[in-house]
Amino acid sequence: MTDYHSENEPETMQDDFFDQLHPADAADHLENLPLEEQVVMVRGLPLEDAAESIAEMDSHDRIPLMTQLPPKLAADILTLMSPDDAADTVAELEPDIRKAIFRELDQEDAAEIKSLLMYDPDSAGGVMNTEILVLDENLTADQAITVIRSQVEDSEIPYYAYMVDQYRHLKGVLSLRDIMISPGGKKLKELLVEQNLIAVPFDTDKEEVAKLIARYNFLALPVVDHGQRILGTVTVDDVIDIIQEEASEDMQQMVGAGGDETIDSPWGYSLKMRMPWLFVNLLNSAVSAWVVHLFEGSIEQMAILAVLMPIVANQAGNTGQQSLAVMIRQLAMERFDRKKVWIAVAREAKIGLVNGLIIGLATFFGIILVFQRPGLAAVMALALLFDMLLGAIAGASIPLILKELGRDPAQASSIFLTTLTDSMGFFVFLGMAGVFLL
């Protein structure tokens, strides 16, 4: 499948099989081979194809492969990757392997990769592409087209050209379309009149960049240094990856799995990521168990309490998880608006309260029907109402509290929530039972 849509123009490949593959598919194929065969295959490929395929590989597979290749070959492959992909690859190599490869790189490439390595990988600088089309704002449209025709093959996604002054200060952005349809003799700077330039500093969080691009339907956003000089761009295809990674991170970290795990991760990696949180969960469960332990006497007298108490905890946990999910998605999709999100906690409380009333009432009548014990039914209904309300408030607040503390809003949030709804649910239910029923 030749791919004329992507930023990577298809190349004629020597290898008959790879000839038909998009780099993303070639990467899949490589990942399914044993490491030794991967090395053999890569050594047989044209360098350009090897570079494109390896850039698309999952890092769990890419790093061992790059480590196995002779440093000279690895260096040649890195040179042909886009600089941001090359920097991402180098960043994960062992220091001695990295050193060996750097010795084989030419000075200019090495310097570019090293400069990219200095950016925080979670910042705009860490995800930007540096192969951009930069034009002097004093060129005319016709001159610009000549320059574009000579340069365009080099640039990764040149939908936009960036206008700069002599000091490389970013002055404006034009799409190739804008330049194409403008009168040939007109200077580029005249096309920029009334443009409100949007650019982000290199240290902007990549998730903020993704939100900007998603909100305004940009195809790319320029990245500048603190002197407003252009450094690169973050493109929409990178943003899709950022959004997908963020969604996986949130969903997986919420329950204490690794944010970057996939079903392709080595299982030992998943084990290592999950186990600490299972121990946290165990400690938290022990707290809830201790609460139950306080009421062992009540349970001995009235074992039905042990039958009903998981229902309270379970309903409140579920109610809280609903609020939690909505709040985590809010934080993922929109820019953080402190006032708005804390007001949303009140909204969740209201929903939790009404759901608690309805479920509480249904349970009240259910218990009367089954056990004919109105006192027990009332205690159960009140405990449900209290714990579901608490769950909703806690579920909505936990991500906000984590965020205010500078932590990831999703991290283990479901575990913390369950601890609270379990222990408080047991406490209130068993406590009220002790007071009113025994």
Are 133 and 173 contacting, i.e. CB atoms less than 8 angstroms apart? Answer: no
Residues from 319 through 358 that contact its own copies (CB under 8 A): 319, 321-322, 324-330, 332-333, 340-341, 344, 347, 350-351, 354-355, 358
CA gap 417, 406 in Å, rounded: 18
> Which position among 76, 104, 225, 237 is part of the footprint of its own copies (CB under 8 A)?
237
Minimum CB distance to its own copies smaller for 123 or for 129: 129
CA gap 427, 298 in Å, rounded: 12
Is 59 a binding residue for its own copies by CB under 8 A? The answer is no
Phi, psi of 233 (to 5 degrees): -140, 150
Is 286 a binding residue for its own copies by CB under 8 A? The answer is yes
> Which position among 64, 99, 111, 244 is part of the footprint of its own copies (CB under 8 A)?
244
Minimum CB distance to its own copies smaller for 90 or for 174: 174
∠ CA 303-305-306 to the nearest 5 degrees?
A: 75
Is 289 a binding residue for its own copies by CB under 8 A? The answer is yes
Is 267 a binding residue for its own copies by CB under 8 A? The answer is yes
| CA Rg value for the chain | 29
Is 401 a binding residue for its own copies by CB under 8 A? The answer is no
DSSP, collapsed to helix, strand or coil, labels residue 428 as helix
Is 158 a binding residue for its own copies by CB under 8 A? The answer is yes
CA gap 117, 126 in Å, rounded: 8
Buried b (16+ CB within 10 A) or exposed e, 55-80: bbbeebbbbebbbebebebbbbbbbb
> Which position among 71, 125, 232, 256 is part of the footprint of its own copies (CB under 8 A)?
256
Is 193 a binding residue for its own copies by CB under 8 A? The answer is no
Minimum CB distance to its own copies smaller for 107 or for 217: 217
Minimum CB distance to its own copies smaller for 110 or for 410: 410
For its own copies (CB under 8 A), the number of binding residues is 123
Closest distance of CB 97 from its own copies, Å: 28
Is 240 a binding residue for its own copies by CB under 8 A? The answer is yes
Are 421 and 401 contacting, i.e. CB atoms less than 8 angstroms apart? Answer: no
Contact region with its own copies (CB under 8 A), list: 93-101, 103-111, 117-125, 308-316: 308-316
DSSP, collapsed to helix, strand or coil, labels residue 260 as coil
